[in-house]
Amino acid sequence: MSKRCGYVAIIGRPNVGKSTLLNAILGQKISITSRKPQTTRHQILGIYTAGEVQAIYVDTPGLHTDSKQALNRYMNRAASAVLEDVNAIVFVVDSLLWTAGDEFVLEKLAKSQVPIIVAVNKVDKIVDKNKLLPHLKSVAEKLPKFHDIVPISAKTGANIAALQTAVTQLLPEAGQFIFSEDEITANNERLLAAEIIREKIMRSLGQELPYSTAVELETFKMVGEVLHVYASIWVERSGQKAIIIGKKGEMLKKMGTQARLDLEKLFEQKVFLQLWVKIRSGWSDDERALRSLGYE
């Protein structure tokens, strides 16, 4: 069997489980997750290599209709930019749901010539399994151009192998792999570290505050055998700073401990983590501020 190698975009509206799917495919966490929409803000590359196949998955921010803020426009650009530069697209939808957000993504995909696989996620949550087949037919009717439709559960791992088989069929033959066989991501370590910290903010705080925060790494270096990570958490108002720090600094300490443990697992070494909370008014709607915080 000749080698097959190529890029695969994971596309969908916010909160359908794209990052959980990438982590399930890789068998390792590289893309942050939470129950809140718009957790992913950057393109995260996960590299799956097995035998003669290398699939390079691009986890993208959720495409969404609200593009009033500069940050939202950035995330839409980041998601849309990959659509013509990949060999296959995995369009993730949420079990039996079909929303205006899915229609918005569908409109984007209609302009692409790249073959599409529909991954119907969270099927483990469907109580009446008799509803699944009619729903799959309904989704298929909405997508005249698609290669396959696969019901999956990214959370439990159900049918992930079938999805990977469908993806493999769309990858071009290649003389050699793009990445070495032991690589699992093409993102730099600083971005991954910042994302891990931001995940703890997303999971620990209320519904609105996480969207007004960003994480910027100030220092990322080895000191002896310990990785030292110093990071600033940017917020837009003083009240938000107080919430993140918490009473007697307890919230910040809790998030810092959770992030440090995940960083040690990711980098397989001891980590010293120091966090600061800083105010930068209006950063999420300021193109220059976004670029300085790594949103490019």
Top pLDDT among 29 and 4 is at 4
pLDDT above 70 (res 209): no
The most confident of the ranges 77-81, 191-195, 223-227, 281-285 is: 223-227
Q: Tens digits of per-residue pLDDT, 29-72?
A: 877 665 655 555 556 788 999 999 999 998 876 655 555 566 66
177-203 average pLDDT score: 87
Q: Tens digits of per-residue pLDDT, 111-152?
A: 888 999 999 999 999 888 888 888 888 888 888 678 899 999
pLDDT at 214: 85
282-296 average pLDDT score: 69
From its phi and psi, is residue 268 left (phi > 0), alpha (psi between -120 and 50) or beta? left
Query: Read out DSSP for 186-229?
Result: -S-HHHHHHHHHHHHHHHHS-SSGGGG-EEEEEEEEEETTEEEE
Domains in the chain, start-ordered, CATH in brackets?
4-170 (3.40.50.300), 189-292 (3.30.300.20)
Single out the residue of 47, 59, 50 nearest to residue 20, CA to CA.
Answer: 59
pLDDT above 70 (res 292): no
Residue spans of beta strands (DSSP E) within the chain: 4-11, 44-50, 53-59, 88-94, 116-121, 148-151, 214-223, 226-235, 271-279
Are 63 and 13 in contact by the 8 Å Cβ rule? The answer is: yes
Q: Which residue has the tokens 């695969």?
A: 8
pTM value?
0.76
Taking the C-alpha atoms of residue 41 and residue 61, their distance in angstroms, rounded to an integer, is 5
Q: What is the mean pLDDT of the chain?
A: 85
HSE of 36, CA atoms in CB hemisphere, 13 A: 19
